[in-house]
Structure 1
Amino acid sequence: MIDFPRMAADAAPAADPSPELGALPRWNLDDLYTGPEAPERIADLDWARAEAKAFASDYQGKLETLTREGRLIEAIRRTEALGEKTGRIGSYSYLYYVQNTADPDRAKFLGDMGEALTELSSGLIFFELELNRIDDGVLEAAFAADPELARYRPWFAELRKAKRYQLEDRVEQLFHDKSVSGATAWNRLFDDTMASLKFEVDNQTLGLEGTLNLLTDKREAKREAAFHGLSKTLGANARLFTHITNVLAKDKEISDRWRGFEDIADSRHLANSVEREVVDALEKAVQEAHPRLSHRYYAMKAKWFGKETLNAWDRNAPLPTSDDRVFDWASARDTVMEAYSAFSPELAKVAEPFFAKGWIDAPVTEGKGPGAFAHPTVPSVHPYLMLNYLGKPRDVMTLAHELGHGVHQVLAGPQGPLMAPTPLTLAETASVFGEMLTFRSMLDKTTDKRLRFAMLSSKVEDMLNTVVRQIAFYSFERKVHAARRKGELKTEDLNRFWLEVQAQSLGPAITLNEGYEVFWAYIPHFIHSPFYVYAYAFGDCLVNSLYAQYETASEGFAERYLDLLRAGGSKHHSELLKPFGLDARDPGFWSLGLGMVERLIDELAATAPS
């Protein structure tokens, strides 16, 4: 087990040295708790258990009376205070676990804390249900009489949208209590299994992250070996992943059916505060753009490789004129911070503590969770960023992306526990914008034509992966969940759905080699957050439109942009986009965002080296 040393708030974070990358920062989780058995953690859980019981005793069955008496704000303050404590415990247990998912003690701690938090919160199910039974007129009168309560009007508005899907209190409590042995348990099985898988690549035994990384290796033989290593191990475990997918899709179908959701993705749209027709328009716009975007680009890439078509393991291959630079950690930090600062010194000031105070965990280590993320924790603390940093230019973009999430979460924090969280459709705004700022900054400093071409092509590929690939993921999920409503799915069904959407999105220039059919199995979003994936495409197209405005009318833009981030979840996306003259309901909105990708492909076609 890894124990982090206690540090003063302004002390330098612990770091892992790397001969090539320099000192890579590790998390200092002390701002949450100093360890699993920290007295503060134990005391907080004891307090939360007692407060949850007291909260239920004080308010259950009494909320309408409390509202009529002008005292509802008391309950709001208490629920936020309780959420701060439980959020802190939940955040720490997850971050502590993800540092080494192979450690059984950490896994047990995560499970124990999850069960404890679920148990104490089961007695609080009544709160939102009962709030939604308060008469609209009574609630409006309470808002008019109490400005502090009125500040929470946006939160109540979102809550009211779920009113028609609420169930009787005891059924809601049953759903909640059963989640520990239901969806949560299956999610953990997926994570634990994926963390334990080993992939054989050229007589090397690798984990998932290291194997996936080889798919971007410059050596085709290494890419092909990684592809077959992935295919073999995923195929050998396909029965388990199929079963997990079946169980979770059925679990969602049961919940949707009881609640009365019409469409398989409506619960996600509700959580995202976005209308179904907006997402449908996005999916349609991206699919119609396939010939102009992904099909065209991959055909161009095949020619650059001197091939008629690319194999599946060549899709993310670096170009012959690829950007092979290795950025040590200090260079990556400086590159991103310079880009942020040039756009807004205030934005850079918010970002600086992530590097100075142990808020980033960068190195690839045994058992560490794959990928990268930004965890918001709770408003009274700060977010934590996780990376698996290997020094590639794409890793610099990942740092810029996750740092964008982090500064967004910091800026939204003053909204408080109830309104700081941002819907997924806007949660990617700051991250993708941070990437774009960093990319443009790096491109402007690059004079070598071949290197500029490599950077442009890499950016196009990232955009295609963010927009085209994520919408293909969304289409795959729609097929899976629609088919699951008719009966249990076989691995062959999932494989077929995967190949169908991949062929449609990637086009004829990509060969879907044998073994690729099972690559759906390692995508964690399908397991953890059904239909999450369209948020990436939403965010990318939105940012493309925002950035186009920044380029043409930058005066005052940074201030409006920071205001958007500060709003957190307190405003609907239509209200937040209005100061920029953008409307996601306008069919032309998505075309505007996709047009930026198309223009980059045009530039590549015009400047491709002979």
Structure 2
Amino acid sequence: MSTYSLTWDLDRFFNGGSESTEFKAYLNELAQNLDVLNAQLDSLKVVTELPAVITTIQRVMNQVREASAFISCLQAQDVKDKKAGELRGKTTSLSAEFQAALGKFDQFLLSVDETDWNTFLNQEDQQSLRFILQERKERAAEKLSVEQESLILGLGVDGYHGWSEMYDTITGKISIPFEEDGEVKQLSIGQAANKFSNPDRNVRKTVFENWEKAWEQDGDLISQTLNHLAGFRLTTYKNRGWDEVLKEPLFINRMKQETLDTMWNVIEKYKPVFAEYLQKKASLLGLEKLSWYDLDAPLASSTSTVSYQEGAEFILENFAKFGPKMADFSRKAFEDRWIEAEDRNGKRPGGFCTSFPEKAESRIFMTYSGTASNISTLAHELGHAFHQHVMNDLEPLNQRYAMNVAETASTFAEMIVADAAVKNATSEEEKLALLEDKVQRSVALYMNIHSRFLFETSFYEERKQGMVSQSRLNELMETAQKTAYLDSLDTYHPTFWASKLHFHITGVPFYNFPYTFGYLFSLGIYAKALEEGQGFEEKYIALLRDTGRMTVEDLAEKHLGVDLTQPEFWEKALLLSVQDVHDFLEMTK
């Protein structure tokens, strides 16, 4: 059996980390290729010249992704790496320049008359990019002139993205004091978050109180970043003539408002079942109601943990039961050091997977401390990496899938491992703990994520009238949580808007509902996989390969034969997690 490293290999891409001379040379090459692209776009006159331009666009796109991925990894592994922060600024500028070039490209597409456009699209060698090019042309019609859009992108480097980077700087300095073995330790945000699943309620309560104080203390600064991010977006939308705040996130996620509304309506219908679980968990813990910091509390008194090695082998064993390709790929990720999982100070919180298209590899970031939740996170991120892996041979433009379907592969992988863990439990106590881990995830996706969606919806409405104060943000957050959780909790987390990175990301506005979509969509796919067995892997791969080149409604229709604007699919998927709650309630009678 191999021994898997807890740290990743980044030298495979650029030797020397943030001091890498190779990376500096790479950024210079990227800048030169951008010059070539701009020159091509400036001289672009007829549609027959488009193929050469598209080739350059795809080359630059891959380089921008490669550079951004490398910087993300450097900043995640060491939040105090100032040099990486400087490189982030340069990469962001190059990325903005590329977006501006794409703006010129889109404006040209807009200028092509329908006859010439259809002739071009109907050529055999353009068929594979037909959806993407048509989508770009239609979206260009919704935007301002190329000069105005370029100005927005340029100002966004020091404005829009600058505020997001400011958030990263502020949170990089935050640590949570915690007394252990008679010594006060300063925990990183990631380490402190892991304490919320500690079996000792006093530990959870103490960490949470210190956690709230830390975010409250810097809340005035973080409220500035959030307000200015939202203000930048709203001003942009206003100038484009967009009335709906959700227009951009729905665009990005290639989905209809009708689909989103149907999904939330079905969830609302079944929420009382999950509120019943929360009440039952409270009574099992000897409480009248759960507090926010009790949501992840383990029910079993056992504090046993699973080593990284054991966690990895468990994942690989169960991926293999689904299909050989997913298992073989994941083994390679472990063996070739694609994963940073070490539990140490100085790392950023959370987990992610990022892809390096030039090398056709991914890197996974997390902090592993041996909990069942950690194993789920690891499986989740491997799902992301597998999704990218099966698309590596497609044109770069066809690899840009939206966040909602991005969460499909990750959640699907997580589901395989979670179900296996419950089935393989060696005792009733262990089975209950693992089943509850599954239910906790459903609560997070149906209630926590919904609270984020409700918060952002109300926050953006108030932000249209002016700046929203720190205390008001706390109020909006707590109101959203009470609504989303059907007021099932005793205390809430009012500073959640400050501690949750997702509210401060510039890439995707409303970085919330796509998680729930991906979760339920993957549950629907998982139900199909259970019906069809191992042979389903090839169909699953075919679905993943199409995620970057069609709307989610068309994707579901083609590969699953379902209509996402109707409640039937969502109900069938959601009933799988409702069954988990029923099983939990039965076991705890």
Residue 52 of structure 1 corresponds to 34
1:315–1:510 CA contact under 8 A, matched in 2: no
Matches within 5 A, 1:569-580: 569-578=548-557, 579-580=559-560
The question of 1:79 aligning with 2:57 is answered: yes
What amino acid maps onto 1:263 in structure 2?
Answer: E
From 355, 375, 386, the equivalent of 2:334 is 355
Q: CA deviation at 1:342?
A: 0.8
Which stretch shows the higher mean deviation, 438-447 or 227-236? Answer: 438-447
Residue 239 of structure 2 corresponds to 258
Q: CA deviation at 1:116?
A: 4.3
d(CA) in 2 for partners of 1:434, 1:168:
43
The superposition leaves residues 204-227 of structure 1 with CA deviations (integer Å, 9 ceiling, x where unpaired) of 322211222111110010011011
d(CA) in 1 for partners of 2:528, 2:90:
49
2:343–2:368 CA contact under 8 A, matched in 1: yes
Matches within 5 A, 1:19-38: 24-35=5-16, 36-38=18-20
Q: CA deviation at 1:123?
A: 4.9
Residue 9 of structure 1 corresponds to none
2:174–2:188 CA contact under 8 A, matched in 1: yes
Residue 255 of structure 2 corresponds to 274
The superposition leaves residues 497-519 of structure 1 with CA deviations (integer Å, 9 ceiling, x where unpaired) of 11111112223431125xx3222
The question of 1:328 aligning with 2:298 is answered: no
Q: CA deviation at 1:103?
A: 2.1
The superposition leaves residues 358-411 of structure 1 with CA deviations (integer Å, 9 ceiling, x where unpaired) of 211111232211110000232543111111111111101111000000000111
The question of 1:518 aligning with 2:498 is answered: no
Q: Secondary structure at the match of 1:406?
A: helix
The question of 1:587 aligning with 2:564 is answered: no
The question of 1:151 aligning with 2:133 is answered: no
Q: Secondary structure at the match of 2:452?
A: helix
2:80–2:172 CA contact under 8 A, matched in 1: yes
Q: CA deviation at 1:314?
A: 1.3
Residue 371 of structure 2 corresponds to 392
Residue 489 of structure 1 corresponds to 468
d(CA) in 2 for partners of 1:404, 1:576:
19
Q: Secondary structure at the match of 1:49?
A: helix
Q: Secondary structure at the match of 2:393?
A: helix
Q: CA deviation at 1:323?
A: 6.2
Residues 81/284 of structure 1: CA separation in 2 closer, same or farther (3 Å cut): same
Residue 69 of structure 2 corresponds to 91
1:49–1:120 CA contact under 8 A, matched in 2: no
Q: CA deviation at 1:322?
A: 5.7
1:103–1:367 CA contact under 8 A, matched in 2: no
Q: CA deviation at 1:122?
A: 4.1
d(CA) in 1 for partners of 2:55, 2:362:
22
- Unaligned residue ranges in structure 2 (runs of 5+): none
From 150, 155, 163, the equivalent of 1:186 is 163
1:52–1:121 CA contact under 8 A, matched in 2: no
Q: CA deviation at 1:283?
A: 2.2
d(CA) in 1 for partners of 2:90, 2:33:
19
Q: CA deviation at 1:567?
A: 2.4
d(CA) in 2 for partners of 1:576, 1:551:
20
1:387–1:399 CA contact under 8 A, matched in 2: yes
1:323–1:455 CA contact under 8 A, matched in 2: no
Q: CA deviation at 1:305?
A: 1.4
The superposition leaves residues 189-209 of structure 1 with CA deviations (integer Å, 9 ceiling, x where unpaired) of 111111111222333322211
The question of 1:163 aligning with 2:145 is answered: no
From 285, 292, 305, the equivalent of 2:273 is 292
Q: CA deviation at 1:156?
A: 1.2
What amino acid maps onto 2:471 in structure 1?
Answer: E
1:467–1:540 CA contact under 8 A, matched in 2: no
Q: What is the TM-score normalised by the length of structure 1?
A: 0.91
Residues 601/377 of structure 1: CA separation in 2 closer, same or farther (3 Å cut): same
- Unaligned residue ranges in structure 1 (runs of 5+): 1-11, 13-21
2:340–2:364 CA contact under 8 A, matched in 1: yes
Residue 104 of structure 1 corresponds to 82
The question of 1:501 aligning with 2:480 is answered: yes
What amino acid maps onto 2:58 in structure 1?
Answer: E
Q: Secondary structure at the match of 1:414?
A: coil
The superposition leaves residues 297-354 of structure 1 with CA deviations (integer Å, 9 ceiling, x where unpaired) of 11111111122212222122111x2663311111111111111111000121222221
Residue 344 of structure 2 corresponds to 365
What amino acid maps onto 2:12 in structure 1?
Answer: D
d(CA) in 2 for partners of 1:568, 1:286:
24
From 516, 530, 553, the equivalent of 1:537 is 516
1:119–1:177 CA contact under 8 A, matched in 2: yes
Q: Secondary structure at the match of 1:383?
A: strand
Matches within 5 A, 1:450-461: 450-461=429-440
From 246, 264, 271, the equivalent of 1:283 is 264
The superposition leaves residues 228-255 of structure 1 with CA deviations (integer Å, 9 ceiling, x where unpaired) of 1011111111111111111111111011
State how many pairs are aligned: 580
Alpha-carbon RMSD across the aligned residues, in angstroms, is 2.0
Residue 602 of structure 1 corresponds to 582
Residues 445/254 of structure 1: CA separation in 2 closer, same or farther (3 Å cut): same
From 229, 232, 243, the equivalent of 1:248 is 229
The superposition leaves residues 115-146 of structure 1 with CA deviations (integer Å, 9 ceiling, x where unpaired) of 3443466455311222233223212101223x
Which stretch shows the higher mean deviation, 339-348 or 568-577? Answer: 568-577
d(CA) in 2 for partners of 1:253, 1:159:
22
d(CA) in 2 for partners of 1:120, 1:536:
28
The question of 1:137 aligning with 2:118 is answered: no
1:322–1:451 CA contact under 8 A, matched in 2: no
Q: Secondary structure at the match of 1:132?
A: helix
Residues 60/461 of structure 1: CA separation in 2 closer, same or farther (3 Å cut): same
1:132–1:163 CA contact under 8 A, matched in 2: yes
Residues 143/440 of structure 1: CA separation in 2 closer, same or farther (3 Å cut): same
Q: CA deviation at 1:585?
A: 1.3
1:158–1:273 CA contact under 8 A, matched in 2: no
Q: Secondary structure at the match of 2:555?
A: helix
2:110–2:137 CA contact under 8 A, matched in 1: yes
Q: CA deviation at 1:577?
A: 2.1
d(CA) in 1 for partners of 2:256, 2:95:
32
Which stretch shows the higher mean deviation, 212-221 or 544-553? Answer: 544-553
Residue 432 of structure 1 corresponds to 411
d(CA) in 2 for partners of 1:123, 1:161:
17
